[in-house]
Amino acid sequence: MSRTIGKLAKELGLNIETIRFYERRNLIVQPEKPLQGFRVYPQQTVDRIRFIKFSQDLGFTLDEIKTLLSLNDKPCGQVQELAEYKLAAVKEKLSDLKRLENALKTLLKQCRSNKDEDSCPIIDAVHR
């Protein structure tokens, strides 16, 4: 199958500029341009972009994805180390979000029981 950048973008549901951005970031290789016609993107590029998008969905940054791609021929332990680091960061974010959720629940509970129209527990908490 012959894929120009437009066909590739359509197949993957991306903008052409996203593909060009990945090329500039050296996440994918830009095919050579023939003397006549358009660049043709191989299946390997399709697979690589799918990996990039999947990794982004998992929360990896483009720099982290670039590292993952460079580890392609390396021992699994190095990939595992990077994934464990990412998991720890996700757990920390979840913990922060849980604390925020609890703080908001407490403030909303105070608001619901507040009888003083001139005072707002949420605003008071922000000004502490």
In this prediction, residue 122 carries a pLDDT of: 82
Distance CA(38)–CA(32), nearest Å, equals 9
Q: What are phi and psi of 120, to 5 degrees?
A: -125, 120
107's tokens: 């403030």
Domains of the chain plus CATH, in order, are: 1-70 (1.10.1660.10)
Specify the pLDDT at position 73.
63
pLDDT tens column, 52-110:
999 999 888 999 999 888 877 667 777 788 889 889 999 999 999 999 999 999 989 98
**pLDDT of amino acid 19:** 96
Q: Find the angle CA(100)-CA(106)-CA(110) to the nearest 5 degrees.
A: 140
Residue 37's pLDDT is 86
pLDDT at position 92 is 94
